[in-house]
Amino acid sequence: MFENFKAVILTYKTAPIAIREKVALSEPQARRLLQRLKDTLGLSEALVISTCNRTEIYYSAEQNLGREIIAQLCLEKNQLSVHELMPYFIVEDRHETTVMHLFRVGIGLESQVVGDLQISHQVKQAYQWSADEGMAGPFLHRLMHTIFFTNKRVFQETAFRSGAASVSYAAVEMMEELTAGNHAPTVLVIGLGEIGSDVVRNLKDRRFAKVWLANRTRAKAETLAQDTAFEVIHFDQWENYLPQADVVICSVATSSPLITASAVQPQSGKFQYFFDLAVPRSIAPEIEQLPGCVIYNIDDIHNRANEALQRRIASIPHVERIIGEAIADFNNWTKEMIVSPVINKLKNMLEQIRKEEIARYMKHLDAEEVEKVEQITKSMMQKIIKMPVLQLKAACKRGEAETLADVLNDLFNLEKIPIEH
């Protein structure tokens, strides 16, 4: 099972959003799918990653079960057709390629926004589901912890995680910097289109004391509020909340600005920051002439995001070198796991011989002599086993482990020796 890692992969590169929405899995659905894979297909290791941009299922098996796994996904999602979905999936059955792909996903190299910080959390969450459902064995445990450690190296050693590389991340990052001197800043969000909604999601768990959401379609605002615990206000009452907001975000598509200078009430000694995320502009430019009012438009935020993105792109070769080193170490461990049964059998055989020979003479020895004989024979056994173990590990790195393992099996007739740990 240590070199039988496979996957079925559907991403924004292979499928439009209409298809991605159909196969996206909630946490309960992902957990049920893991149980389906265990009960129906007999799998013992699997990982389900499902986000707005990808649904990927990794598994360990000797056979390619790609179509069967997609069929189980269709059953979980109710009435989806395997025939309809198959063209959008990559069915990957090459171990090395699958391992590399999961590394790239976990680090953020495969994200729509290169270096996306969210994917690391989503991969950890998927791993937790596997562990909870009893679907993470020695291979998956080692692989996931290697990816997490690699992520830490990437963060510490490169610029791949520096700065916000999406407009919504960049906007929230700017808001936090601008209000750093305010211990309890408030935010008013007007308009919850795609970018407005993204900003709201990124505001979650930040240090803002109050966030108000106003949208023409109130149901959309209420859905976002359920996920974020923010407060929904009536769209036609946003002007009442405007004076209380330290930061105002507007992304309402209108032919003329929604927020005009007459709606703003400057307050002495206080700054108010306006983020205009709409084109055409939804905040009147002349507001910036008012005392304490500062406007940032979509171009300002794009420039900041682009600078961060360029730094991330420039650091990709360094990130790939770190991943290469991590995969090389992981592959060495994988190969050593393949020969570990041979090592254990050899140790068990020698231990059996040691005990049998000592037993022949024990009745003639006192307690002190028995202790000395135990120490001497154990020390001898450890020195005898040391060289074959070192040679096996060296053979792993050369890719010759299986040949040497076969020689040891034949030489000592290890097939008859039970594996004990």
Q: Which residues are catalytic?
A: 52
Contact call for residues 107 and 151 (beta carbons, < 8 A): yes
Tell me the C-alpha distance between 300 and 173, whole Å.
Answer: 13
What Rg value do the Cα atoms of the chain yield, rounded? 30
Q: Which residues pair with 214 in a beta bridge?
A: 190, 233
E strand intervals along 84-140: 90-92
What is the phi/psi pair of residue 275, to 5°?
Answer: -115, 110
Q: How far apart are the first and last CA of the chain?
A: 18
255-265: string of b/e by CB count within 10 Å (b at 16+)?
Answer: eebbbebeebe
Helix (H) or strand (E) holding 295: strand 293-297
HSE-CB at 18 with a 13 A cutoff on CA atoms is: 1
- SS3 string, 159-173, reads CCCCCCCCHHHHHHH
What is the phi/psi pair of residue 229, to 5°?
Answer: 65, 25
Which amino acid is residue 16, in one-letter code?
P
Give the list of residues 6+ apart from residue 33 with CB closer than 8 angstroms, or none: 25, 48, 57, 72, 73, 76
Tell me the C-alpha distance between 27 and 127, whole Å.
Answer: 12
Contact call for residues 249 and 187 (beta carbons, < 8 A): yes
